[in-house]
Amino acid sequence: MKNDHYSLSDPERIYSRFLVLVVAMGLAGCGAPSIYHWGRFEDGLHDRYVSQNHPQADAYLLETITKAEQENLRIPPGAYADYGFLLFKRGDREGAIAYFEKEKRIFPESDAFMTKLIERIKQKESDSAEKQQPQAAITQGTQP
């Protein structure tokens, strides 16, 4: 026995399926927007660690930070720390510390890690200064 109530040609059935589809699509579009300005930060992470394209990754990171700061948007977690690490690798220790401090201020949960990185940078600076002092004493002692 054929049940015509569930036929696909039934206009009410087609209409109800269409209505369910429209409502589902409408609700999918109501997702909450991100609270952070991610910009190209995620693309930069991929380029740095997967594609090994460091110059492009650095450009994406700086672009994300610059735009967020100019437009007063929230920086994503880790962006300042990542940029601080980049500055450290380039030899800019003061810049690195400044960005690690920004990361600590905005994301207090990163305090322990950022503090440890800052301490290590300062330790390297003091080790470097100690190595230069004996060298300076030797140089001064050999001069007439």
- Tell me whether residue 101 is in a domain: yes
**Tens digits of residue pLDDT in 109-119:** 999 999 999 99
Domain assignment of residue 74, given as a range: 41-135
What per-residue confidence (pLDDT) applies to 73?
Answer: 95
- Tell me whether residue 2 is in a domain: no
- Tell me whether residue 82 is in a domain: yes
- Tell me whether residue 5 is in a domain: no
**Tens digits of residue pLDDT in 3-48:** 555 555 566 777 667 767 666 666 666 666 789 999 998 888 888 8
- Judged by DSSP in three states, 110 sits in helix
Number of structural domains found in the chain? 1
- Tell me whether residue 32 is in a domain: no
Q: What per-residue string of b and e applies to 28-65 under the rule 16 or more CB within 10 Å gives b?
A: eeeeeeeeebebbbebbbebbeeeebeeebbebbbebb
- Tell me whether residue 24 is in a domain: no
- Tell me whether residue 19 is in a domain: no
Here the CATH number for the domain that contains residue 45 is: 1.25.40.10
pTM given for the model: 0.68
